Structure 1
Amino acid sequence: MRTIVVTGGTHGIGQGLVEHYRARGDRVIAIGSTAVPGDDTIRADLTEAETVRGLAGALPERIDALVMSAFRYSPVRAETAAGLEYTFALYVLSRFLLVEALLPALERAPSPVILSLCGSGAGRPPRWDDLQSRRGRFRALDTTLRGAYANDLLGTAFPIEHPSARTRYVLYNPTMVDTGLSRAFDGPTKVLVDVASRLFATPVPRALPPIVRLIDAPPDAPVTAFRAGRPTRVARGADDPASALRLTAALRALAP
């Protein structure tokens, strides 16, 4: 029996993975912002750095797989209690801090893997002088795409900062999956997004098998990227070590 930790484990793909592995008999700990029944469910606000770091003490000493799927599309700019832009705090900073906090537990497992559900292979480079999207008009899609690029940079940085780690880092872009995105909208936009999801998005159960295969049999390379089950490359320029380390240094400065 393996121990698997899933952030965003109460909705969408994360919830699907939780249900799959629990049915298989593994111990699965779901971390989410909403409370759901289950002894192995932790309600936590992952936009708060101290909360993320504190999870290490609440989780088992050995973790076989860490799946990071927590994400919430925010149409308008919002800030966390610490004054950080919400999408950046949840989609980028929390993933970096979570890996740093849980890496010792992962390294105790025989074949550990981190799987980051993100928009790998797409995205736009960070605005280094405006990581919190404070300048100009806030554009939710642009902020999300910059978060996707930042996650590719985190994958690039991982083996540089942890050269002796046995843990494998997998960046996975599931493409369009029906995960309830319409909940983020109101009125006509909500209806349009809901219809588009039903027509064009992959249902969660169909999106799971290639993800499960990567969790069950991690690739040999320290870092790999996949798009809907097929190998892909990170976004152009996101394989640059200097940019990757610049990002991790900025994240450490934001949450010292």
Structure 2
Amino acid sequence: MARTIVITGGTRGIGSALARERLRRGDAVVAVARDAALGRRFVEEGGDRAGFIAADLSTVAGTREVAAELADRHPVIDALVLGAHSMRPGRHVTAEGLEATFALYYLSRHVLLHALAEPLTRADRAVTINLSGAGMTAGRIHWDDLQLTRGYSATKANLQAGRANDLLGVAFAEEHPGISTVAYNPGFVDTRPYTGMARPYRALAELAAAVAAAAPERAATALSALIDEPPPGPFAARKRRGSGNRPIDTTGPTYDPGTARRLDAATRDLLAGLDAVSR
């Protein structure tokens, strides 16, 4: 039976490979991404079951517009794959005044998950898959400075957002136990070119990718398996191993429910503050 799959970051790298694989399997796929030219190509090549929404997910307003459009077009969503991400060498601030990595890599995913909970709940066996560094212990939430106004580094920002995504899954699953929520670490995947990285690091990353990284198609095969057979229970974490997946222990502090609730509350306060400013 054909399903509706929504993929953010669905025109490049793993997202693109997954989108094409699911189309080959007969699903309807909606790619959400910034690059309209790549989106048009995806629709032209994918046919009637391929859809595209051009969006800037680095803003809450833009993310909410996408969520509203998706919910309007698709009353039932079977799988939501959150993969939009962009590496930046320095600190950038969005139009809404938020640190860009936090806004895109974490906050947009929080907004989309909660905004699309209703169409996901209508599916027979819905699954959400959040691509991040699931299972890593490096990095932490900087509770007193979520926007990293002090001592910023790209590594620090990405690690914080990664840990936030782990906690996001725990909190969301607690609120929506009928939806299978998966924190997913795809491992090292060749998603060249690394256009957002500073030049010396970009060259090293692209060399390493050419030598050691898995092809996006291989990662897409592992992701497809989770769409076809979500893990049991409301929340799970997985890491790609070859073309398959292995479980990640979710009993440690990385997935602490109390910390997850604390971050969820802080995120909702942040969103409420943005809404107050925009009125």
Matching residue of 2:257: 241
Helix, strand or coil at the partner of 2:236: strand
Deviation at 1:235, TM superposition (A): 8.8
Counterpart-to-counterpart distance in 2, 1:34 and 1:152: 27
Q: 1:80 aligns with which of 81, 90, 94?
A: 94
Instruction: Supply the AA of the counterpart residue of 1:205.
Output: E
> 1:102 deviation in Å?
0.3
**CA shift digits 1:120-178 (9 cap, x unpaired):** 01132201001101012x2111211111111111111123223xx41100111011101
| Equivalent in 96, 106, 109 of residue 95 of structure 1 | 109
Task: Tell me by how many angstroms 1:186 deviates.
Answer: 4.7
Among 216, 219, 222, the alignment partner of 2:234 is 222
1:49-68 equivalences under 5 Å are 49-59=60-70, 60-68=74-82
Contact map agreement 2:173 2:179 (CA 8 A) in 1 = no
Contact kept, 8 Å, 1:156 with 1:238, in 2: the verdict is no
Helix, strand or coil for the counterpart of 2:255? coil
**AA partner of residue 65 (structure 1):** A
Residue 53 of structure 1: how far off its partner (Å)? 1.8
Q: Give the fraction of aligned pairs with identical amino acids, expressed as a percent.
A: 42
Structure 1 residue 251 corresponds to structure 2 residue 267? yes
SS at match of 2:195: helix
1:134 aligns with 2:134: no
Which residue identity lines up with residue 127 of structure 1 in the other structure? H
Asked if structure 1 preserves the Cα contact closer than 8 Å seen for 2:18 and 2:217, the reply is: no
Cα separation, 1, equivalents of 2:68 and 2:163? 30
Counterpart of 2:162, as a letter, is: A
After TM superposition, where is structure 1 displaced by more than 6 Å over at least 4 residues in a row?
A: none
Give secondary structure in 2 for the equivalent of 1:166.
coil
Cα distance in structure 2, aligned partners of 1:124 and 1:189? 20
Matches of 2:80 and 2:125, distance apart in 1: 12
The corresponding residue for 2:46 is none
Q: Deviations over 1:215-247 (max 9, x none)?
A: 111111110001111111249412222210111
Are the aligned partners of 2:53 and 2:66 in contact in 1 as well (CA < 8 Å)? no
Matched, 1:212 2:224: yes
- Structure 1 contact 171–225 (Cα < 8 Å) conserved: yes
Which residue of the partner structure matches residue 125 of structure 1?
140
**What SS is found at the alignment partner of 1:213?**
helix
Task: State the alpha-carbon separation in 1 of the partners of residues 178 and 87 from structure 2.
Answer: 33
Hey, what does 2:179 align to over in structure 1?
167
When you count helix as a share of all residues, which structure comes out higher? Answer: 2
Q: Which runs of 5+ in 2 are unaligned?
A: 44-49, 273-279
SS in 2 for 1:30: strand
Q: Give the length in aligned residue pairs.
A: 253
Output the TM-score relative to the length of structure 2. Answer: 0.87
In 1: Cα distance, 2:157 partner to 2:251 partner:
15
Work out whether residues 89 and 198 of structure 2, in 8 Å CA contact, stay in contact via their aligned partners in 1.
Answer: no
Aligned mates of 1:225, 1:5 — CA distance in 2: 20
Instruction: Give the whole-Å Cα distance in 2 for the aligned partners of 1:128 and 1:181.
Output: 33
SS where residue 244 of structure 1 aligns? Answer: helix
Measured in 2, the distance between the counterparts of 1:74 and 1:187 equals 11
Q: Separation in 2 of the partners of 1:255 and 1:40?
A: 29
**Partner amino acid for 1:215?**
I
Query: Could you state the TM-score of these two structures normalised by the residue count of structure 1?
Result: 0.94
Alignment of 1:232 with 2:248, yes or no, is yes
The 8 Å contact of residues 152 and 235 in structure 1, kept in 2 or not, is answered as no
**Equivalent position of 2:26 in the other structure:** 25
User: For residue 191 of structure 1, what is the aligned residue in structure 2?
Assistant: 203
Partner of 1:34: 35
